[in-house]
Amino acid sequence: MKKTSFGDTAAIEGISRRGAPRGGAPRRHAPLQDAHPHRRRALPFAPILLLTLALILALGGCSVIERFTGGDAAEATEEDSGAAPRGGRRATQVPAAEPAEQLFAVNVTPAVQGQIRDYIEVNGDVQTTTSVDIFSNTAGEVARVHVRVGDRVEAEQLIAEVDASRPGQTFAPSPVRSPIAGTITRLPARVGSQVTPSVPVAQVSRTTELEIVVPIAERFISKVRTGLNAEVRLDAFPDQRFPARVTELNPVVDPLTRTLEIKLRFNRPDPRIRAGMFAEVRIITEQKENVVKVPADVVIRRFGESFVFVVREEHDEAEESSGETGHTRVERRLITPGILIDNTLEVTAGLEPNETVVYQGQALLEDGVAVRVINRFNVLETGGTP
Protein backbone atom coordinates (compact mmCIF):
# COMPACT_ATOMS: atom_id res chain seq x y z
CA MET A 1 0.00 0.00 0.00
CA LYS A 2 1.27 3.44 -0.90
CA LYS A 3 1.84 5.74 2.04
CA THR A 4 0.27 9.13 2.01
CA SER A 5 2.57 12.02 2.81
CA PHE A 6 1.85 15.26 4.60
CA GLY A 7 1.51 17.03 1.23
CA ASP A 8 -0.86 14.38 -0.15
CA THR A 9 -3.03 14.76 2.89
CA ALA A 10 -3.28 18.50 2.35
CA ALA A 11 -4.21 17.90 -1.30
CA ILE A 12 -6.85 15.41 -0.35
CA GLU A 13 -8.27 17.87 2.11
CA GLY A 14 -8.38 20.53 -0.59
CA ILE A 15 -10.16 18.18 -3.01
CA SER A 16 -12.53 17.18 -0.29
CA ARG A 17 -13.44 20.77 0.42
CA ARG A 18 -13.98 21.56 -3.23
CA GLY A 19 -15.78 18.36 -4.01
CA ALA A 20 -18.21 18.34 -1.15
CA PRO A 21 -21.81 18.93 -2.30
CA ARG A 22 -23.78 21.60 -0.62
CA GLY A 23 -25.96 20.28 2.10
CA GLY A 24 -24.52 16.87 1.53
CA ALA A 25 -23.22 14.61 4.19
CA PRO A 26 -19.59 15.05 5.13
CA ARG A 27 -17.12 12.72 3.61
CA ARG A 28 -15.39 10.01 5.54
CA HIS A 29 -12.01 11.74 5.54
CA ALA A 30 -13.39 15.06 6.83
CA PRO A 31 -12.11 14.47 10.39
CA LEU A 32 -8.54 14.82 9.04
CA GLN A 33 -9.12 18.57 8.97
CA ASP A 34 -8.88 18.95 12.78
CA ALA A 35 -7.29 15.71 13.89
CA HIS A 36 -3.79 17.20 14.48
CA PRO A 37 -4.02 20.96 14.18
CA HIS A 38 -0.90 21.55 16.34
CA ARG A 39 1.37 19.80 13.87
CA ARG A 40 0.82 22.45 11.28
CA ARG A 41 1.77 25.22 13.76
CA ALA A 42 4.61 23.59 15.69
CA LEU A 43 6.59 21.84 13.01
CA PRO A 44 7.88 24.99 11.25
CA PHE A 45 9.51 26.14 14.58
CA ALA A 46 10.98 22.78 15.53
CA PRO A 47 14.49 23.49 14.19
CA ILE A 48 14.66 26.74 16.17
CA LEU A 49 13.55 25.00 19.35
CA LEU A 50 16.08 22.24 18.86
CA LEU A 51 18.90 24.75 18.25
CA THR A 52 17.94 26.75 21.36
CA LEU A 53 17.84 23.61 23.46
CA ALA A 54 21.28 22.58 22.21
CA LEU A 55 22.75 25.99 23.07
CA ILE A 56 21.25 25.88 26.57
CA LEU A 57 22.70 22.44 27.18
CA ALA A 58 26.10 23.53 25.86
CA LEU A 59 26.22 26.64 28.01
CA GLY A 60 24.99 24.77 31.04
CA GLY A 61 27.70 22.18 30.61
CA CYS A 62 30.39 24.86 30.44
CA SER A 63 29.05 26.45 33.59
CA VAL A 64 29.15 23.14 35.39
CA ILE A 65 32.73 22.54 34.24
CA GLU A 66 33.85 26.02 35.31
CA ARG A 67 32.13 25.60 38.63
CA PHE A 68 34.16 22.49 39.40
CA THR A 69 37.45 23.66 37.86
CA GLY A 70 37.22 27.33 38.84
CA GLY A 71 37.59 28.37 35.25
CA ASP A 72 41.36 27.98 35.43
CA ALA A 73 41.58 25.51 32.59
CA ALA A 74 39.58 27.70 30.20
CA GLU A 75 41.49 30.84 31.10
CA ALA A 76 44.79 29.03 30.72
CA THR A 77 43.75 27.78 27.27
CA GLU A 78 42.73 31.26 26.18
CA GLU A 79 45.99 32.77 27.43
CA ASP A 80 48.12 30.08 25.77
CA SER A 81 46.36 30.37 22.44
CA GLY A 82 46.28 34.17 22.50
CA ALA A 83 42.54 34.14 21.75
CA ALA A 84 40.28 36.71 23.30
CA PRO A 85 38.18 35.42 26.19
CA ARG A 86 34.43 35.19 26.10
CA GLY A 87 32.85 38.57 25.65
CA GLY A 88 35.25 39.58 22.87
CA ARG A 89 37.69 41.50 25.15
CA ARG A 90 40.97 40.15 26.45
CA ALA A 91 41.14 40.09 30.28
CA THR A 92 43.92 42.03 32.04
CA GLN A 93 45.74 40.19 34.81
CA VAL A 94 45.85 42.36 38.00
CA PRO A 95 48.30 41.09 40.63
CA ALA A 96 46.84 40.66 44.12
CA ALA A 97 47.78 43.49 46.49
CA GLU A 98 50.06 42.56 49.37
CA PRO A 99 48.56 43.12 52.84
CA ALA A 100 49.64 46.39 54.47
CA GLU A 101 52.35 46.06 57.13
CA GLN A 102 51.10 46.52 60.67
CA LEU A 103 52.39 49.60 62.50
CA PHE A 104 52.74 49.75 66.27
CA ALA A 105 52.27 53.10 68.02
CA VAL A 106 55.04 53.82 70.56
CA ASN A 107 56.49 56.58 72.73
CA VAL A 108 60.26 56.88 72.88
CA THR A 109 63.00 58.44 75.02
CA PRO A 110 66.78 58.75 74.63
CA ALA A 111 69.43 56.95 76.65
CA VAL A 112 71.34 59.49 78.75
CA GLN A 113 74.96 59.63 79.85
CA GLY A 114 75.48 61.10 83.30
CA GLN A 115 75.65 60.50 87.02
CA ILE A 116 73.81 57.86 88.99
CA ARG A 117 73.69 57.66 92.79
CA ASP A 118 72.54 55.15 95.35
CA TYR A 119 71.36 56.47 98.70
CA ILE A 120 69.41 55.86 101.88
CA GLU A 121 66.94 58.28 103.45
CA VAL A 122 66.60 58.84 107.21
CA ASN A 123 65.15 61.47 109.53
CA GLY A 124 66.84 63.25 112.42
CA ASP A 125 67.26 66.48 114.38
CA VAL A 126 69.58 69.44 114.09
CA GLN A 127 71.63 69.85 117.25
CA THR A 128 74.55 71.95 118.42
CA THR A 129 77.94 70.29 118.52
CA THR A 130 78.65 71.67 122.00
CA SER A 131 76.05 72.41 124.64
CA VAL A 132 76.93 72.95 128.34
CA ASP A 133 74.72 73.25 131.40
CA ILE A 134 75.93 75.87 133.91
CA PHE A 135 75.60 75.12 137.63
CA SER A 136 76.07 77.14 140.80
CA ASN A 137 78.79 76.07 143.24
CA THR A 138 76.52 76.78 146.23
CA ALA A 139 72.91 76.39 147.11
CA GLY A 140 70.92 79.52 147.65
CA GLU A 141 68.64 82.10 146.18
CA VAL A 142 69.24 83.63 142.77
CA ALA A 143 70.01 87.25 143.49
CA ARG A 144 70.73 88.52 139.97
CA VAL A 145 70.55 87.26 136.35
CA HIS A 146 72.78 89.10 133.88
CA VAL A 147 71.80 87.47 130.56
CA ARG A 148 68.78 86.48 128.50
CA VAL A 149 68.10 83.58 126.17
CA GLY A 150 69.82 84.17 122.85
CA ASP A 151 72.56 86.39 124.22
CA ARG A 152 76.05 85.75 123.01
CA VAL A 153 78.48 85.18 125.91
CA GLU A 154 82.21 84.69 126.22
CA ALA A 155 84.08 82.21 128.32
CA GLU A 156 84.12 83.18 132.05
CA GLN A 157 81.42 85.80 131.50
CA LEU A 158 79.15 86.37 134.51
CA ILE A 159 75.76 84.73 134.06
CA ALA A 160 74.08 85.07 137.48
CA GLU A 161 74.70 85.58 141.19
CA VAL A 162 73.49 83.29 143.98
CA ASP A 163 73.09 84.45 147.58
CA ALA A 164 74.02 81.66 149.98
CA SER A 165 73.20 83.68 153.17
CA ARG A 166 71.16 82.06 155.93
CA PRO A 167 69.48 83.51 158.96
CA GLY A 168 72.28 84.73 161.20
CA GLN A 169 74.86 84.20 158.44
CA THR A 170 75.63 86.64 155.67
CA PHE A 171 77.74 85.69 152.67
CA ALA A 172 78.86 87.53 149.63
CA PRO A 173 76.94 86.57 146.44
CA SER A 174 78.42 83.59 144.62
CA PRO A 175 79.02 84.27 140.90
CA VAL A 176 77.93 81.84 138.17
CA ARG A 177 80.10 82.05 135.04
CA SER A 178 79.93 80.49 131.55
CA PRO A 179 82.65 77.88 131.01
CA ILE A 180 82.68 78.37 127.22
CA ALA A 181 81.88 80.98 124.63
CA GLY A 182 78.54 80.55 122.96
CA THR A 183 74.88 81.49 123.05
CA ILE A 184 72.48 81.17 125.96
CA THR A 185 69.98 78.56 124.81
CA ARG A 186 68.25 77.88 128.14
CA LEU A 187 67.82 79.97 131.28
CA PRO A 188 65.69 78.27 133.92
CA ALA A 189 67.00 80.47 136.76
CA ARG A 190 64.84 83.37 137.87
CA VAL A 191 65.55 86.05 140.45
CA GLY A 192 64.33 84.79 143.82
CA SER A 193 64.28 81.13 142.82
CA GLN A 194 66.24 78.54 144.80
CA VAL A 195 69.07 76.65 143.14
CA THR A 196 71.40 73.85 144.16
CA PRO A 197 74.64 72.54 142.73
CA SER A 198 72.60 69.84 140.94
CA VAL A 199 70.13 72.21 139.25
CA PRO A 200 71.36 74.07 136.14
CA VAL A 201 71.16 77.82 136.17
CA ALA A 202 71.54 78.20 132.39
CA GLN A 203 72.67 76.41 129.24
CA VAL A 204 75.17 77.79 126.73
CA SER A 205 75.69 76.31 123.24
CA ARG A 206 77.85 76.92 120.22
CA THR A 207 75.04 77.54 117.77
CA THR A 208 77.36 78.25 114.86
CA GLU A 209 78.55 74.64 114.97
CA LEU A 210 75.54 72.47 114.16
CA GLU A 211 75.19 68.79 113.41
CA ILE A 212 72.41 66.40 112.44
CA VAL A 213 71.87 63.33 114.58
CA VAL A 214 70.04 60.44 112.86
CA PRO A 215 69.46 56.75 113.62
CA ILE A 216 70.36 54.19 110.92
CA ALA A 217 68.56 50.85 110.68
CA GLU A 218 70.79 47.85 111.25
CA ARG A 219 70.38 46.57 107.68
CA PHE A 220 72.00 49.76 106.29
CA ILE A 221 75.03 49.82 108.58
CA SER A 222 77.25 48.10 106.00
CA LYS A 223 76.59 50.92 103.50
CA VAL A 224 77.41 53.82 105.83
CA ARG A 225 80.88 55.16 106.63
CA THR A 226 82.42 58.48 107.60
CA GLY A 227 83.06 60.89 104.78
CA LEU A 228 79.94 60.06 102.77
CA ASN A 229 78.15 63.03 101.24
CA ALA A 230 74.56 63.82 102.11
CA GLU A 231 71.74 66.22 101.29
CA VAL A 232 69.63 67.73 104.07
CA ARG A 233 66.11 69.04 103.63
CA LEU A 234 64.50 71.18 106.35
CA ASP A 235 60.78 71.80 106.71
CA ALA A 236 61.48 75.52 107.11
CA PHE A 237 63.10 75.58 103.64
CA PRO A 238 61.40 72.80 101.65
CA ASP A 239 62.78 73.87 98.26
CA GLN A 240 66.43 73.89 99.34
CA ARG A 241 69.00 71.15 99.86
CA PHE A 242 71.86 71.77 102.30
CA PRO A 243 75.05 69.76 101.69
CA ALA A 244 76.46 67.81 104.62
CA ARG A 245 78.93 65.04 105.39
CA VAL A 246 78.95 62.01 107.71
CA THR A 247 81.39 62.75 110.53
CA GLU A 248 80.74 60.20 113.26
CA LEU A 249 79.34 56.70 113.74
CA ASN A 250 78.45 55.39 117.16
CA PRO A 251 80.34 52.12 117.73
CA VAL A 252 77.39 50.54 119.57
CA VAL A 253 73.99 49.54 118.16
CA ASP A 254 71.04 50.38 120.37
CA PRO A 255 69.69 46.96 121.46
CA LEU A 256 66.17 48.30 121.91
CA THR A 257 65.68 50.05 118.57
CA ARG A 258 68.26 48.05 116.56
CA THR A 259 69.62 51.31 115.16
CA LEU A 260 73.01 52.98 115.00
CA GLU A 261 73.35 56.68 115.77
CA ILE A 262 75.38 58.70 113.29
CA LYS A 263 76.20 62.40 113.08
CA LEU A 264 76.58 64.71 110.10
CA ARG A 265 77.96 68.24 109.77
CA PHE A 266 76.82 70.96 107.39
CA ASN A 267 79.47 71.85 104.83
CA ARG A 268 78.80 75.59 105.21
CA PRO A 269 77.39 77.44 108.24
CA ASP A 270 74.02 79.04 107.60
CA PRO A 271 72.52 81.45 110.16
CA ARG A 272 69.02 80.44 109.09
CA ILE A 273 69.49 76.92 110.40
CA ARG A 274 68.54 76.53 114.04
CA ALA A 275 69.19 73.80 116.53
CA GLY A 276 66.15 71.62 117.08
CA MET A 277 64.95 71.68 113.45
CA PHE A 278 63.59 68.47 111.93
CA ALA A 279 65.78 67.19 109.09
CA GLU A 280 65.24 64.76 106.22
CA VAL A 281 68.63 63.34 105.27
CA ARG A 282 69.63 61.56 102.06
CA ILE A 283 73.01 59.85 102.46
CA ILE A 284 74.73 59.04 99.16
CA THR A 285 76.14 55.53 99.57
CA GLU A 286 77.35 55.02 95.97
CA GLN A 287 77.96 57.41 93.11
CA LYS A 288 79.05 56.77 89.49
CA GLU A 289 79.93 59.27 86.78
CA ASN A 290 79.48 59.14 82.98
CA VAL A 291 77.30 56.04 82.94
CA VAL A 292 74.62 55.21 80.35
CA LYS A 293 71.22 55.18 82.02
CA VAL A 294 67.61 54.69 80.94
CA PRO A 295 64.23 54.60 82.67
CA ALA A 296 63.72 51.16 84.16
CA ASP A 297 60.34 50.92 82.37
CA VAL A 298 62.00 50.54 78.95
CA VAL A 299 63.67 47.25 79.92
CA ILE A 300 61.90 43.93 79.27
CA ARG A 301 63.03 40.80 81.11
CA ARG A 302 62.25 37.38 79.66
CA PHE A 303 63.81 34.01 80.41
CA GLY A 304 66.68 35.58 82.31
CA GLU A 305 67.53 38.11 79.58
CA SER A 306 67.19 41.89 79.70
CA PHE A 307 66.63 43.78 76.47
CA VAL A 308 65.30 47.03 75.04
CA PHE A 309 63.89 48.04 71.65
CA VAL A 310 66.09 50.58 69.87
CA VAL A 311 64.35 52.76 67.26
CA ARG A 312 66.08 53.06 63.88
CA GLU A 313 65.22 55.09 60.76
CA GLU A 314 65.52 53.16 57.47
CA HIS A 315 65.85 54.92 54.08
CA ASP A 316 65.92 53.68 50.50
CA GLU A 317 67.07 55.52 47.37
CA ALA A 318 63.54 56.49 46.29
CA GLU A 319 62.79 58.02 49.68
CA GLU A 320 66.09 59.87 49.82
CA SER A 321 65.59 61.35 46.35
CA SER A 322 62.04 62.44 47.14
CA GLY A 323 62.91 63.75 50.59
CA GLU A 324 60.39 61.47 52.32
CA THR A 325 60.88 60.15 55.82
CA GLY A 326 62.12 56.59 56.01
CA HIS A 327 60.50 53.65 57.70
CA THR A 328 60.87 53.51 61.48
CA ARG A 329 61.69 50.06 62.79
CA VAL A 330 62.89 48.66 66.08
CA GLU A 331 65.85 46.48 66.94
CA ARG A 332 65.70 44.07 69.85
CA ARG A 333 68.91 44.75 71.79
CA LEU A 334 70.27 42.72 74.70
CA ILE A 335 71.72 44.82 77.53
CA THR A 336 73.59 44.32 80.78
CA PRO A 337 71.84 46.17 83.62
CA GLY A 338 73.70 47.81 86.50
CA ILE A 339 72.36 49.45 89.65
CA LEU A 340 68.75 50.61 89.86
CA ILE A 341 68.05 53.92 91.61
CA ASP A 342 64.62 55.58 91.71
CA ASN A 343 63.41 53.89 88.48
CA THR A 344 66.67 54.87 86.76
CA LEU A 345 68.69 51.90 85.53
CA GLU A 346 72.39 51.87 84.74
CA VAL A 347 73.25 50.05 81.49
CA THR A 348 76.80 48.69 81.57
CA ALA A 349 76.75 47.11 78.08
CA GLY A 350 74.58 46.97 74.96
CA LEU A 351 73.49 50.59 74.63
CA GLU A 352 75.14 53.84 73.62
CA PRO A 353 74.32 57.39 74.82
CA ASN A 354 71.60 59.22 72.86
CA GLU A 355 70.22 56.05 71.25
CA THR A 356 66.43 56.20 71.13
CA VAL A 357 64.59 53.41 72.93
CA VAL A 358 60.90 52.56 73.16
CA TYR A 359 59.50 53.89 76.43
CA GLN A 360 55.82 52.91 76.09
CA GLY A 361 54.18 50.33 73.82
CA GLN A 362 57.01 47.77 73.74
CA ALA A 363 55.06 44.82 75.17
CA LEU A 364 53.91 43.51 71.74
CA LEU A 365 57.01 44.39 69.73
CA GLU A 366 59.34 41.98 68.00
CA ASP A 367 62.69 42.50 66.33
CA GLY A 368 62.38 44.38 63.02
CA VAL A 369 58.72 45.41 63.18
CA ALA A 370 57.62 48.81 61.90
CA VAL A 371 56.51 51.41 64.45
CA ARG A 372 54.97 54.85 64.46
CA VAL A 373 56.49 57.25 66.99
CA ILE A 374 53.72 59.22 68.69
CA ASN A 375 55.67 61.16 71.34
CA ARG A 376 59.32 61.75 72.17
CA PHE A 377 60.02 62.26 75.88
CA ASN A 378 63.19 63.16 77.79
CA VAL A 379 62.18 61.16 80.83
CA LEU A 380 65.46 61.33 82.75
CA GLU A 381 65.78 65.07 82.20
CA THR A 382 62.18 66.09 82.92
CA GLY A 383 61.41 63.45 85.54
CA GLY A 384 58.54 61.85 83.58
CA THR A 385 56.09 62.23 80.72
CA PRO A 386 54.15 65.50 80.38
* pLDDT (tens digit per residue) in 37-88: 444 454 555 667 677 766 666 555 544 444 444 444 444 444 444 444 555 5
Percent over 70 (pLDDT), the chain: 70
Break the chain down into helix, strand, coil percent, rounded to 5.
20, 40, 40
Q: What is the pLDDT of residue 296?
A: 92
Least confident span in 83-92, 151-160, 312-321: 83-92
Residue type, 243: P
- CATH (one of 3.40.309.10, 3.40.190.10, 3.30.70.1450, 2.40.50.100) for 133-205: 2.40.50.100
The mean pLDDT of 183-191, rounded to a whole number, is 92
Cα angle value 223/225/230 (rounded, 5°): 85
Rounded to 10°, the helix 72-81/46-69 angle is: 100
Least confident span in 7-16, 156-165, 296-305: 7-16
Q: Which residue would you say has higher pLDDT here, 69 or 178?
A: 178
- CATH (one of 2.40.30.30, 2.60.120.260, 3.30.1330.40, 2.40.420.20) for 104-114+290-382: 2.40.420.20
Q: What is the rounded distance in angstroms from the CA atom of residue 358 to the CA atom of residue 297?
A: 9
Q: What is the pLDDT of residue 362?
A: 86
Quick one: DSSP state of residue 228?
-
pLDDT band per the 50, 70, 90 thresholds, residue 312: confident
Which residues partner with 40 through β-bridges?
A: none
- CB-based burial label for 126 (10 Å; 0-12, 13-18, 19+): buried
What is the average pLDDT value for the chain, to the nearest integer?
79
Q: What is the pLDDT of residue 24?
A: 47
The mean pLDDT of 336-340, rounded to a whole number, is 91
* pTM over cut 0.85: no
Least confident span in 75-89, 117-131, 211-225, 342-356: 75-89
pLDDT of 14 over the 80 cut? no
DSSP letter string, 41-74: HHGGGHHHHHHHHHHHHHHHHHHHHHHHHTTHHH
CATH of domain 120-126+208-289: 2.40.30.170
User: What kind and span of H or E run contains 110?
Assistant: strand 104-110
The mean pLDDT of 294-299, rounded to a whole number, is 93
Q: What is the rounded distance in angstroms from the CA atom of residue 195 to the CA atom of residue 144?
A: 12
Domain boundaries, the chain: 7-19+28-81, 104-114+290-382, 120-126+208-289, 133-205
Q: What is the rounded distance in angstroms from the CA atom of residue 160 to the CA atom of residue 186?
A: 13
| β-strand pairing of 104-110 with 371-376 | parallel
Q: What is the rounded distance in angstroms from the CA atom of residue 111 to the CA atom of residue 368?
A: 20
The mean pLDDT of 275-295, rounded to a whole number, is 93
- Residues 259-278 have pLDDT tens digits of 999 999 999 989 899 999 99
Tell me if 359 sits within 8 A of 373, measured CB to CB.
no
CB within 8 Å of 7: residues ≥ 6 apart: none
Backbone dihedral angles phi then psi of residue 369, each to the nearest 5 degrees: -75, 155
Least confident span in 1-15, 87-101, 224-238, 302-316: 1-15
The mean pLDDT of 198-225, rounded to a whole number, is 93
- The Cα diameter of the chain in Å comes to 200
